[in-house]
Structure formats: structure tokens, C-alpha cells
Amino acid sequence: MPASVSRHLHELIPTGMTGPLRRLVCQARALEYLSALLTHLGCAENGEENSPSRRRARKVFDMLSQVPGKLPSLDEIAAEFNVSARTLNAEFKAAYGQPIHTLMTDLRLNEAHAAIKASTIPLKTLAQQLGYTHTHHFLTAFRRKFGYPPSALRKK
């Protein structure tokens, strides 16, 4: 363990303090130690961005952002990245706050919202471009996310 990390352990118990103040200082120094340890191990916030799981999550996001139409299944994505589907989804959720398909569906529905506002593209065509096999599934997902059907957006 480098001295920059272990130094916090050596300074953990303050001398000359008693009562609640001593306890508070001990807790603060323990947190400093844990923070230094996490940074050293590459798990702190600035280190997380470069961890293998974060890089993999970023690659998955970049790849799926470029996929037109229907998204591949979680098992297909996991096989491409040579990890289990459960691990990949957990890494992605840790990096982006949502499971893979939830986030990608959200992003696609936001794109659909913008496309409906800006163009006259038929909803059936838009649904197919987003990978929905049935227009009804798209309409349901859109209504669930935004609280109104796409046709109401067109009328505005």
C-alpha cells in the first residue's frame, strides 16, 4: 500500500481530543482513508471512467446508438462483448442509471418525439425505423412515456 493511502490510517486516532469531537474526527479520517484507497484501486469517480466495465458500457452505448431498426437482444450484445448478459446489463446500469434496453428505448422515443414535431413522416414508417414490429407497440410505448399519443403531438 502506498504511503499516500496508509498515511490516513496512521493519523486515524487523534491525540488530545475526547468525546464526540474525537469520534467525529476519527470518522472523517476513516472516510479519507477509504477515499484514498478507492482512488488507488481505480474505483473512485475519476477512476471509474477508465475502468473496464465503464469502457465496455460506453462501447455498448455507442454501438447501440448506431444500430438502425430493432435492437439486438441482450444475449446477442453480451455475446459480442464476451460477458454474461447479467454482468453487461449491471455494468451499463451502473454507468448510465438504467438497463440497456430501457435507456435505448427512452432515447429512441425522444428521437421519435422530435421527428414527429419536425416532419410529416407517417407513424407506421417511424415505428418501423425504430424497430417496432407493430405500430400499435410504438403508439403504446410513446403514450406510456409522454402521456399522450403521437397523433396529439401532430395536431399541436
* Helix and strand totals (H; E) in the chain: 10, 0
| C-beta separation of 144 from 105 below 8 A | no
pLDDT at res. 13: 63
Q: Do domains 49-97 and 102-155 have the same CATH topology?
A: yes
Domain residues of the chain, as ranges? 3-47, 49-97, 102-155
Residue with cell 446477442: 76
pLDDT at res. 30: 75
pLDDT at res. 44: 47
Structure-block grid coordinates of residue 10 = 496512521
CA distance 125 to 11: 66
pLDDT at res. 21: 74
Report the CATH architecture of 49-97. Answer: Orthogonal Bundle (1.10)
According to CATH, the topology of domain 102-155 is: Arc Repressor Mutant, subunit A (1.10.10)
CA distance 122 to 115: 10
CA distance 125 to 110: 16
Q: How do the pLDDT tens digits run along the chain, 156 residues long?
A: 555 555 555 666 666 767 777 777 777 777 777 777 666 665 545 445 568 888 899 999 999 988 888 899 999 999 999 999 999 999 999 888 899 999 999 999 998 998 888 888 899 999 998 889 899 999 999 999 999 999 888 776
pLDDT at res. 24: 77
